[in-house]
């Protein structure tokens, strides 16, 4: 249980050379390795610096790095252009594709008693600790789990054990962990490192996976207020909970913005390279839910959003049931085998709901009015709305647009926003 490296503050600027020096320092402490597996995120976390860190590890280990398994979770495999962009110079034949339905093992079960206790009785079934079989029996002497710690809707703060048991997890473990978080309540989870879901994931790691040679490389990334550029504020490398806790503590300073004024209109822009579905793009909903005023409006600008789920089966469920209130989704889970058998989809539908408290206007460049309204959202034409709310003109934070006061967010994946009064409640 070692924290090999830690550096970070809300004002620190960690350069690529700083990261390289830190990685080499830690690798020297570990000694030579014969079979190294890297588990970075996929392209949806491009801004995490994990691609760059993976390249640094490959440059160091060379032929000893035998496998790279992007932590896809339920996402689709990365196409070549994404691999080239995120992992330049790494041979394609090193990359493996995680199959969350078939390519996993169950290391053990967290007892129902433990689950019941940490969830306050909201969920009382045993939780299966699942991960990709390559991690379990691949014969590696080092498993590098690389990624960014940032507020997250399922576990409170992303990464660490989530990268293993969700990013490379199986359908049952992913479904139930997502549903536990949704049933417990996002507002009770987001921005907190100690949550029921996190306790369950960490317990799985401690009970079943401590024998595996994990090393967690965790970044904290934020926007520089003056330049608007992304800056690495923290880097933490270790093999146990203290590594994550240190990164999570800094992420709260860097990625969580408490607003003294409650916005009545929030506008979020979704980068066309990063966001192609509402499954990902609804970060605009759940990362701002605690900020938006009652009867307010969220406008989501998604120029290249053309679907709902990353997975065809989940896409069909979203189209069928839509983004409804928690009571409606819970009833649908109870009464329908297809949704009840895919709890991660049910959780996502809850995550993407305003619970009737404010309206969501989706401006998806590649979805029709009928498709958007069919899942319960308001629709507006992207090309028309972008003339009014121009991402090239708007600045992150408060803006005046034709006499209208709005709060603009250029990438909702980078943080969490809350109205101070609501968060304190």
DSSP assignment of 295-336, as one string? T-EEEEEETT--BS-SSHHHHHHHHHH-S--HHHHHHHHHH-
The model's pLDDT over 308-365, given as tens digits with 9 standing for 90+, comes to: 998 889 999 999 999 999 999 999 999 999 999 998 899 999 999 999 999 999 999 9
Say which CATH number the domain at 417 has: 3.90.226.30
Whether 119 and 252 share a structural domain? yes
182 shares a domain with 162: yes
- Phi/psi for 92 (5° steps) reads -65, -30
Q: Which of 257, 274, 301 is the last residue of a domain?
A: 257
How many domains does the chain contain in total?
A: 2
pTM of the model: 0.88
Do 300 and 414 sit in the same domain of this protein? yes
How many Cβ atoms sit within 10 Å of the Cβ of residue 133? 15
Let me know: does 384 contact 323? Beta carbons within 8 Å: no
Answer whether residue 25 shows pLDDT above 60. Answer: yes
Question: 25 phi and psi, to 5 degrees?
Answer: -60, -45
Please check whether residues 314 and 229 belong to one and the same domain.
no
252 and 264 in a common domain: no
Burial class (CB in 10 A: 0-12, 13-18, 19+), 250: buried
CATH code for position 244? 3.40.50.11440
What are the pLDDT digits (tens) for 219-248? 999 988 888 889 999 999 999 999 999 999
Average pLDDT, the chain: 95
Q: Which tokens sit at 72?
A: 């896809």
Q: How far is CA 232 from CA 202, 254, 409, in A?
A: 26, 10, 19
User: Are residues 233 and 284 both part of a single domain?
Assistant: no
Question: Domain containing 55: what range?
Answer: 3-257
pLDDT band at 425 (very low <50, low <70, confident <90, very high): very low
Least confident of 140-149, 272-281, 374-383: 272-281
Q: Compute the distance between CA of residue 348 and CA of residue 162 in angstroms, rounded to an integer.
A: 16
In this prediction, residue 424 has a pLDDT band, given cuts at 50, 70 and 90, of low
């Amino acid at each position: 249980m070692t924290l090999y490296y830690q550096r970070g503050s809300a004002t620190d600027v960690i350069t690529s050379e700083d990261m390289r020096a830190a990685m080499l320092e830690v690798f020297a402490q570990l000694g030579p390795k014969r079979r190294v597996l890297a588990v970075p995120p996929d392209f949806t976390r491009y801004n995490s610096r994990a691609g760059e860190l993976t390249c640094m590890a490959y440059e160091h280990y060379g032929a000893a790095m035998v496998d790279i398994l992007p932590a896809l979770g339920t996402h689709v495999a990365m196409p070549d252009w994404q691999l080239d962009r995120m992992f330049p110079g790494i041979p394609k034949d090193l990359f493996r594709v995680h199959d969350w339905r078939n390519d996993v093992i169950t290391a053990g079960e967290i007892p129902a008693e433990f689950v019941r206790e940490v969830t306050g009785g909201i969920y009382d079934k045993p939780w299966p600790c699942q991960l990709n079989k390559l991690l379990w029996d691949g014969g590696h002497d080092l498993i590098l789990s690389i990624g960014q710690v940032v507020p997250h809707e399922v576990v409170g703060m992303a990464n660490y054990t989530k990268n293993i048991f969700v990013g490379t997890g199986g359908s049952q473990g992913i479904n139930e962990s997502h549903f536990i978080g949704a049933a417990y309540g996002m507002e009770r989870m987001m921005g907190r490192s100690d949550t029921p879901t996190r306790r369950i994931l960490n317990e799985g790691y401690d009970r079943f996976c401590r024998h595996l040679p994990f090393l967690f490389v965790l970044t904290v990334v934020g926007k520089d207020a003056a330049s608007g550029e992304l800056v690495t504020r923290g880097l933490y490398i270790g093999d146990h909970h203290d590594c994550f806790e240190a990164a999570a503590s800094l992420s709260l300073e860097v990625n969580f913005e408490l607003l003294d004024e409650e916005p009545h209109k929030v506008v979020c822009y979704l980068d066309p390279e990063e966001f192609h579905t509402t499954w990902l793009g609804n970060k605009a909903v759940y990362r701002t839910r605690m900020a938006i005023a009652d009867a307010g409006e969220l406008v989501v600008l998604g120029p290249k959003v053309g679907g709902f789920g990353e997975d065809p089966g989940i896409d069909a469920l979203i189209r069928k049931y839509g983004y409804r209130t928690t009571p409606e989704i819970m009833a649908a889970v109870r009464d329908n085998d297809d949704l009840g058998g895919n709890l991660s989809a049910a959780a996502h539908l809850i995550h993407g709901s305003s619970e009737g408290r404010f309206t969501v206007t989706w401006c998806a460049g590649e979805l029709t009015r009928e498709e958007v309204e069919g899942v319960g959202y308001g629709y507006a034409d992207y090309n028309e709305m972008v003339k009014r709310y121009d991402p090239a003109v708007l600045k992150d934070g408060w803006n005046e647009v034709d006499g209208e006061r709005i709060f603009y967010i250029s990438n909702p994946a980078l943080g969490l926003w809350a109205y101070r009064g609501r968060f304190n409640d």
